[in-house]
Structure 1
Amino acid sequence: MALWDRIKESASTMQTQLTAKKHELKSGAFRDASMAICALVAAADGTIDPAERRRVAELIAGNEVLQNFPADELRRRFDANLDKLTADFDFGKVSVLQEVAKAKKKPAEARAVVQIGIIIGGADGDFDKTEQAVVREACHVLELPPHEFDL
Protein backbone atom coordinates (compact mmCIF):
# COMPACT_ATOMS: atom_id res chain seq x y z
CA MET A 1 0.00 0.00 0.00
CA ALA A 2 1.35 3.43 -0.93
CA LEU A 3 2.27 5.83 1.87
CA TRP A 4 -0.48 8.29 0.96
CA ASP A 5 -3.08 5.51 0.98
CA ARG A 6 -1.93 4.49 4.48
CA ILE A 7 -2.13 8.12 5.66
CA LYS A 8 -5.64 8.51 4.23
CA GLU A 9 -6.76 5.24 5.79
CA SER A 10 -5.21 6.19 9.13
CA ALA A 11 -6.81 9.67 9.06
CA SER A 12 -10.19 8.13 8.24
CA THR A 13 -9.86 5.66 11.11
CA MET A 14 -8.82 8.44 13.48
CA GLN A 15 -11.78 10.60 12.46
CA THR A 16 -14.12 7.67 13.15
CA GLN A 17 -12.54 7.20 16.59
CA LEU A 18 -12.86 10.91 17.34
CA THR A 19 -16.50 10.99 16.28
CA ALA A 20 -17.23 8.05 18.58
CA LYS A 21 -15.79 10.07 21.49
CA LYS A 22 -17.41 13.37 20.48
CA HIS A 23 -19.48 13.61 23.65
CA GLU A 24 -16.40 13.18 25.85
CA LEU A 25 -14.40 15.90 24.09
CA LYS A 26 -16.05 19.08 25.34
CA SER A 27 -13.55 20.61 27.76
CA GLY A 28 -11.90 23.97 27.35
CA ALA A 29 -8.50 22.28 27.59
CA PHE A 30 -9.35 20.05 24.61
CA ARG A 31 -10.63 23.06 22.64
CA ASP A 32 -7.49 25.10 23.33
CA ALA A 33 -5.11 22.20 22.63
CA SER A 34 -6.93 21.31 19.40
CA MET A 35 -6.65 24.82 18.03
CA ALA A 36 -3.01 24.94 19.04
CA ILE A 37 -2.16 21.71 17.19
CA CYS A 38 -4.05 22.94 14.12
CA ALA A 39 -1.99 26.13 14.11
CA LEU A 40 1.26 24.20 14.65
CA VAL A 41 0.55 21.88 11.74
CA ALA A 42 -0.55 24.75 9.48
CA ALA A 43 2.64 26.69 10.21
CA ALA A 44 4.96 23.68 10.54
CA ASP A 45 7.29 24.87 7.79
CA GLY A 46 7.65 28.28 9.47
CA THR A 47 5.26 30.08 7.12
CA ILE A 48 1.56 30.07 6.33
CA ASP A 49 -0.03 31.50 3.25
CA PRO A 50 -3.63 32.78 3.18
CA ALA A 51 -4.83 29.78 1.14
CA GLU A 52 -3.42 27.32 3.68
CA ARG A 53 -4.92 29.33 6.54
CA ARG A 54 -8.35 29.21 4.87
CA ARG A 55 -8.04 25.49 4.13
CA VAL A 56 -7.24 24.63 7.75
CA ALA A 57 -10.01 26.94 8.99
CA GLU A 58 -12.46 25.09 6.71
CA LEU A 59 -11.26 21.73 8.02
CA ILE A 60 -11.75 22.93 11.59
CA ALA A 61 -15.25 24.18 10.82
CA GLY A 62 -16.17 20.91 9.11
CA ASN A 63 -14.78 18.59 11.80
CA GLU A 64 -17.70 16.96 13.57
CA VAL A 65 -15.93 16.72 16.93
CA LEU A 66 -14.91 20.38 16.93
CA GLN A 67 -18.53 21.35 16.31
CA ASN A 68 -18.92 20.93 20.09
CA PHE A 69 -17.58 24.50 20.26
CA PRO A 70 -18.75 27.79 18.72
CA ALA A 71 -17.05 28.29 15.34
CA ASP A 72 -16.15 31.93 16.06
CA GLU A 73 -14.40 30.90 19.28
CA LEU A 74 -12.40 28.20 17.47
CA ARG A 75 -11.41 30.66 14.75
CA ARG A 76 -10.32 33.26 17.30
CA ARG A 77 -8.12 30.74 19.13
CA PHE A 78 -6.71 29.30 15.89
CA ASP A 79 -5.89 32.80 14.58
CA ALA A 80 -4.31 33.84 17.90
CA ASN A 81 -2.02 30.79 17.80
CA LEU A 82 -1.13 31.44 14.16
CA ASP A 83 -0.35 35.06 14.97
CA LYS A 84 2.11 33.93 17.66
CA LEU A 85 3.77 31.54 15.20
CA THR A 86 4.01 34.04 12.36
CA ALA A 87 5.33 36.84 14.58
CA ASP A 88 8.24 34.72 15.85
CA PHE A 89 8.02 31.05 15.00
CA ASP A 90 10.44 29.69 17.61
CA PHE A 91 9.13 31.79 20.49
CA GLY A 92 5.52 31.32 19.36
CA LYS A 93 6.01 27.57 19.14
CA VAL A 94 6.90 27.43 22.84
CA SER A 95 3.70 29.28 23.73
CA VAL A 96 1.54 27.20 21.38
CA LEU A 97 2.98 23.93 22.71
CA GLN A 98 1.95 25.11 26.19
CA GLU A 99 -1.60 25.32 24.85
CA VAL A 100 -1.28 21.77 23.52
CA ALA A 101 -0.09 20.62 26.95
CA LYS A 102 -3.44 21.63 28.48
CA ALA A 103 -4.86 18.30 27.26
CA LYS A 104 -2.20 16.25 29.06
CA LYS A 105 -4.32 15.54 32.15
CA LYS A 106 -6.89 13.48 30.26
CA PRO A 107 -5.36 10.74 28.08
CA ALA A 108 -8.43 10.48 25.80
CA GLU A 109 -8.26 14.21 25.09
CA ALA A 110 -4.50 14.10 24.59
CA ARG A 111 -4.84 11.30 22.02
CA ALA A 112 -7.68 13.16 20.30
CA VAL A 113 -5.49 16.28 19.98
CA VAL A 114 -2.74 14.25 18.29
CA GLN A 115 -5.31 12.62 16.00
CA ILE A 116 -6.64 16.04 14.99
CA GLY A 117 -3.09 17.15 14.20
CA ILE A 118 -2.61 14.11 11.96
CA ILE A 119 -5.97 14.60 10.23
CA ILE A 120 -5.18 18.28 9.55
CA GLY A 121 -1.65 17.42 8.41
CA GLY A 122 -2.82 14.75 5.98
CA ALA A 123 -5.82 16.61 4.62
CA ASP A 124 -3.90 18.15 1.72
CA GLY A 125 -2.58 14.77 0.61
CA ASP A 126 0.92 15.32 1.98
CA PHE A 127 1.61 14.81 5.69
CA ASP A 128 5.15 16.08 5.22
CA LYS A 129 8.19 15.73 7.49
CA THR A 130 7.79 19.17 9.11
CA GLU A 131 4.14 18.46 9.94
CA GLN A 132 5.04 15.05 11.32
CA ALA A 133 7.79 16.66 13.43
CA VAL A 134 5.45 19.15 15.13
CA VAL A 135 2.89 16.42 15.83
CA ARG A 136 5.71 14.29 17.26
CA GLU A 137 6.67 17.25 19.51
CA ALA A 138 3.06 17.50 20.61
CA CYS A 139 3.18 13.80 21.55
CA HIS A 140 6.16 14.49 23.79
CA VAL A 141 4.45 17.48 25.42
CA LEU A 142 1.35 15.33 25.98
CA GLU A 143 3.50 12.45 27.29
CA LEU A 144 2.27 10.07 24.58
CA PRO A 145 4.57 7.75 22.63
CA PRO A 146 4.82 8.95 19.00
CA HIS A 147 5.01 5.37 17.73
CA GLU A 148 1.42 4.89 18.95
CA PHE A 149 0.47 7.15 16.03
CA ASP A 150 3.05 5.78 13.56
CA LEU A 151 5.18 8.91 13.94
Structure 2
Amino acid sequence: MPIWNQLRQSAQSMQVQLNAKKNDLKSGAFRDASMAMCALVAAADGSVDPAERQRVASLIVGNDVLSNFAADDLQRRFNDYLGKLQADFDFGKVSILQEIGKVKKKPTEARAVIQIGIVIGGADGNFDKTEQAIVREACFAVGINPEEFDL
Protein backbone atom coordinates (compact mmCIF):
# COMPACT_ATOMS: atom_id res chain seq x y z
CA MET A 1 0.00 0.00 0.00
CA PRO A 2 1.49 3.40 -0.94
CA ILE A 3 2.65 5.50 2.00
CA TRP A 4 0.10 8.27 1.34
CA ASN A 5 -2.75 5.76 1.57
CA GLN A 6 -1.39 4.53 4.90
CA LEU A 7 -1.13 8.11 6.11
CA ARG A 8 -4.68 8.91 5.01
CA GLN A 9 -6.01 5.79 6.74
CA SER A 10 -4.08 6.62 9.90
CA ALA A 11 -5.47 10.18 9.97
CA GLN A 12 -9.00 8.86 9.37
CA SER A 13 -8.55 6.31 12.16
CA MET A 14 -7.43 9.03 14.55
CA GLN A 15 -10.42 11.16 13.60
CA VAL A 16 -12.74 8.23 14.43
CA GLN A 17 -11.01 7.87 17.81
CA LEU A 18 -11.43 11.59 18.45
CA ASN A 19 -15.12 11.47 17.55
CA ALA A 20 -15.63 8.67 20.08
CA LYS A 21 -14.23 10.97 22.81
CA LYS A 22 -16.09 14.10 21.69
CA ASN A 23 -18.16 14.39 24.87
CA ASP A 24 -15.01 14.33 27.01
CA LEU A 25 -13.36 17.14 25.05
CA LYS A 26 -15.19 20.30 26.02
CA SER A 27 -12.77 22.18 28.28
CA GLY A 28 -11.29 25.56 27.51
CA ALA A 29 -7.79 24.13 27.95
CA PHE A 30 -8.50 21.51 25.27
CA ARG A 31 -9.91 24.17 22.93
CA ASP A 32 -6.86 26.38 23.38
CA ALA A 33 -4.34 23.54 23.10
CA SER A 34 -6.07 22.26 19.96
CA MET A 35 -5.91 25.63 18.24
CA ALA A 36 -2.32 26.06 19.37
CA MET A 37 -1.51 22.65 17.86
CA CYS A 38 -3.27 23.52 14.59
CA ALA A 39 -1.29 26.75 14.29
CA LEU A 40 1.97 25.01 15.14
CA VAL A 41 1.45 22.31 12.52
CA ALA A 42 0.35 24.85 9.91
CA ALA A 43 3.52 26.88 10.52
CA ALA A 44 5.85 23.91 11.04
CA ASP A 45 8.13 24.99 8.20
CA GLY A 46 8.41 28.51 9.63
CA SER A 47 5.80 30.16 7.41
CA VAL A 48 2.14 29.91 6.52
CA ASP A 49 0.93 30.79 3.07
CA PRO A 50 -2.70 31.92 2.63
CA ALA A 51 -3.74 28.65 0.97
CA GLU A 52 -2.38 26.61 3.88
CA ARG A 53 -4.07 28.90 6.40
CA GLN A 54 -7.38 28.47 4.57
CA ARG A 55 -6.97 24.69 4.35
CA VAL A 56 -6.29 24.36 8.10
CA ALA A 57 -9.13 26.77 8.94
CA SER A 58 -11.58 24.70 6.91
CA LEU A 59 -10.35 21.50 8.59
CA ILE A 60 -10.92 23.11 11.99
CA VAL A 61 -14.46 24.19 11.11
CA GLY A 62 -15.23 20.78 9.62
CA ASN A 63 -13.83 18.77 12.54
CA ASP A 64 -16.68 17.15 14.47
CA VAL A 65 -14.81 17.13 17.79
CA LEU A 66 -14.13 20.86 17.56
CA SER A 67 -17.82 21.54 16.87
CA ASN A 68 -18.19 21.66 20.66
CA PHE A 69 -16.86 25.22 20.32
CA ALA A 70 -18.00 28.29 18.39
CA ALA A 71 -16.33 28.40 14.97
CA ASP A 72 -15.58 32.14 15.16
CA ASP A 73 -13.92 31.67 18.56
CA LEU A 74 -11.78 28.82 17.20
CA GLN A 75 -10.80 30.92 14.19
CA ARG A 76 -9.83 33.87 16.37
CA ARG A 77 -7.68 31.69 18.61
CA PHE A 78 -6.05 29.93 15.63
CA ASN A 79 -5.25 33.30 14.03
CA ASP A 80 -3.85 34.63 17.34
CA TYR A 81 -1.50 31.66 17.65
CA LEU A 82 -0.45 32.00 14.00
CA GLY A 83 0.24 35.68 14.64
CA LYS A 84 2.63 34.77 17.45
CA LEU A 85 4.45 32.34 15.18
CA GLN A 86 4.65 34.81 12.33
CA ALA A 87 5.94 37.61 14.57
CA ASP A 88 8.76 35.48 16.01
CA PHE A 89 8.63 31.78 15.19
CA ASP A 90 11.02 30.53 17.88
CA PHE A 91 9.56 32.60 20.72
CA GLY A 92 6.01 31.91 19.53
CA LYS A 93 6.73 28.18 19.40
CA VAL A 94 7.88 28.18 23.03
CA SER A 95 4.73 30.04 24.08
CA ILE A 96 2.48 27.72 22.08
CA LEU A 97 4.13 24.56 23.41
CA GLN A 98 3.47 25.91 26.91
CA GLU A 99 -0.19 26.37 25.97
CA ILE A 100 -0.35 22.80 24.67
CA GLY A 101 1.34 21.59 27.86
CA LYS A 102 -1.61 22.83 29.92
CA VAL A 103 -3.54 19.64 29.06
CA LYS A 104 -0.73 17.42 30.36
CA LYS A 105 -2.66 16.41 33.49
CA LYS A 106 -5.67 15.25 31.44
CA PRO A 107 -4.44 12.27 29.37
CA THR A 108 -7.58 12.06 27.22
CA GLU A 109 -7.25 15.71 26.22
CA ALA A 110 -3.48 15.45 25.77
CA ARG A 111 -3.81 12.49 23.41
CA ALA A 112 -6.63 14.19 21.54
CA VAL A 113 -4.52 17.30 20.97
CA ILE A 114 -1.70 15.17 19.56
CA GLN A 115 -4.18 13.31 17.36
CA ILE A 116 -5.57 16.61 16.06
CA GLY A 117 -2.02 17.64 15.15
CA ILE A 118 -1.55 14.41 13.22
CA VAL A 119 -4.93 14.76 11.50
CA ILE A 120 -4.13 18.35 10.47
CA GLY A 121 -0.59 17.43 9.40
CA GLY A 122 -1.76 14.46 7.35
CA ALA A 123 -4.81 16.07 5.80
CA ASP A 124 -2.96 16.97 2.62
CA GLY A 125 -1.64 13.41 2.30
CA ASN A 126 1.88 14.49 3.26
CA PHE A 127 2.72 14.49 6.98
CA ASP A 128 6.21 15.79 6.33
CA LYS A 129 9.27 15.63 8.58
CA THR A 130 8.89 19.19 9.90
CA GLU A 131 5.25 18.55 10.85
CA GLN A 132 6.23 15.27 12.49
CA ALA A 133 8.98 17.02 14.45
CA ILE A 134 6.56 19.69 15.70
CA VAL A 135 4.03 17.06 16.82
CA ARG A 136 6.87 15.13 18.49
CA GLU A 137 7.78 18.29 20.46
CA ALA A 138 4.14 18.65 21.46
CA CYS A 139 4.19 15.04 22.70
CA PHE A 140 7.02 15.97 25.05
CA ALA A 141 5.09 19.06 26.19
CA VAL A 142 2.15 16.87 27.28
CA GLY A 143 4.27 14.04 28.64
CA ILE A 144 3.42 11.42 26.01
CA ASN A 145 6.03 9.21 24.42
CA PRO A 146 6.06 10.12 20.70
CA GLU A 147 6.53 6.44 19.82
CA GLU A 148 2.92 5.91 20.90
CA PHE A 149 2.04 7.76 17.69
CA ASP A 150 4.90 6.36 15.58
CA LEU A 151 6.71 9.70 15.68
Taking structure 2 as the reference length, the TM-score comes to 0.98
8 Å CA contact 1:32, 1:102 repeated in 2: no
Please state if 1:139 is matched with 2:139: yes
> What is the aligned partner in structure 2 of residue 127 from structure 1?
127
Identity, in percent, stands at 70
Cα distance in structure 2, aligned partners of 1:64 and 1:149: 21
Equivalent position of 2:56 in the other structure: 56
CA distance in structure 1 between the partners assigned to 2:133 and 2:117 by the alignment = 11
Residue 108 of structure 1 aligns with an amino acid whose one-letter code is: T
| Distance across 1 between alignment mates of 2:48 and 2:9 | 26
Distance across 1 between alignment mates of 2:29 and 2:10: 25
1-structure distance, mates of 2:149, 2:117:
11
Report the number of matched residues: 151
Task: Give the partner amino acid of 2:137.
Answer: E
Deviations 1:102-126 (A, max 9, x none): 1111000000000000000000111
CA distances 1:106-151 after superposition (whole Å, capped 9, x unpaired): 0000000000000000001110000000000000000001010011
**Structure 1 segment 1-151 matched on structure 2, within 5 A:** 1-151=1-151
Deviations 1:1-49 (A, max 9, x none): 2221211111111000000000000000100000000000000000000
Say whether the 8 Å CA contact 1:114–1:135 is kept in structure 2. Answer: yes
Please list every run of 5 or more consecutive structure 1 residues that lacks an aligned counterpart in the other structure: none
Question: Normalising to structure 1: TM-score of the pair?
Answer: 0.98
Structure 2, gaps ≥5 residues long: none
C-alpha distance in structure 2 between counterparts of 1:64 and 1:37, whole Å = 16
Cα separation, 2, equivalents of 1:105 and 1:97: 15
Residue-by-residue CA offset, 1:47-73 (whole Å, 9 max, x unaligned): 000110011000000000000000011
